[in-house]
């Protein structure tokens, strides 16, 4: 089961829209954010902090990489480092988790396609998300994204 919404936006309502971007704002130290998104030099994907703070999103994170990440964390474990800017928590960094969620309904067990993300506790001292962050885009170091 998927939760989707499709809508058309009138171009007269948007000023100078060029593409999908996430504004990282001014409250984040660019050097710290870059180090958090690139926790290990052995990682193949490198996040580059944009000078204008506007992270261009260009593709969807492949499900195979959500389940088997290519990014290596500080301890050498495979993790997918992600970030988002939510309405409530602002910009947060987390690690995608390969654990799948299961739901039991009247004795039937179904596998859902939810993707748990562990918050990066050293970043902003807030959880990855809170109630009210729904609809935020979650992006990885390559700026591929997934709707949250």
Which sequence spans correspond to the domains of the chain? 19-147
Q: Pick the most confident of 33-42, 68-77, 109-118.
A: 33-42
Q: Assign 107 a pLDDT band (cuts: 50, 70, 90).
A: low
E strands, the chain, are 21-23, 54-56, 59-60, 80-86, 90-96, 102-105, 108-111, 117-119, 137-140, 144-147
Which pLDDT belongs to residue 30? 93
Residue 130 has pLDDT above 70, yes or no: yes
Report pLDDT for 124.
56
User: Considering only 23-32, 63-72, 75-84, 100-109, which range has the smallest mean pLDDT?
Assistant: 100-109
| DSSP 8-state code for residue 78 | B
Average pLDDT, the chain: 79
Question: pTM of the prediction?
Answer: 0.74
Percent over 70 (pLDDT), the chain: 74
The CATH number corresponding to 19-147 among 2.60.40, 1.10.10, 2.40.10, 1.10.4160 equals: 2.40.10
3-class state of residue 37 by DSSP: helix
The answer to whether the Cα torsion of 146, 81, 117, 91 is positive or negative is: negative
Tell me: pLDDT of 132 over 80.
yes
Mean pLDDT of 35-64: 84
Element (H, E) at 66: helix 63-67
Q: What pLDDT, on a 0 to 100 scale, did the predictor assign at position 78?
A: 82
pLDDT of 113: 61
Res 1 pLDDT > 60: no
């Amino acid at each position: 089961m998927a939760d989707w919404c499709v809508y058309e936006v009138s171009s007269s309502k948007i000023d100078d829209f060029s593409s999908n971007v996430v504004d990282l704002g001014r409250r984040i130290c660019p050097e710290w954010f870059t180090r958090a998104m690139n926790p290990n030099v052995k990682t193949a994907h490198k996040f580059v902090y944009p000078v204008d703070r506007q992270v261009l999103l260009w593709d969807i994170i492949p499900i195979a990489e959500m389940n088997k990440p290519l990014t290596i964390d500080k301890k050498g474990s495979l993790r997918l480092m992600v970030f988002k800017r939510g309405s409530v928590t602002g910009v947060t960094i987390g690690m995608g988790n390969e654990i799948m969620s299961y739901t039991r309904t009247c004795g039937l067990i179904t596998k859902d396609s939810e993707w748990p993300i562990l918050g990066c506790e050293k970043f902003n001292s807030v959880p990855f998300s809170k109630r009210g962050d729904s609809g935020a885009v979650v992006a990885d170091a390559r700026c591929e994204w997934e709707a949250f």
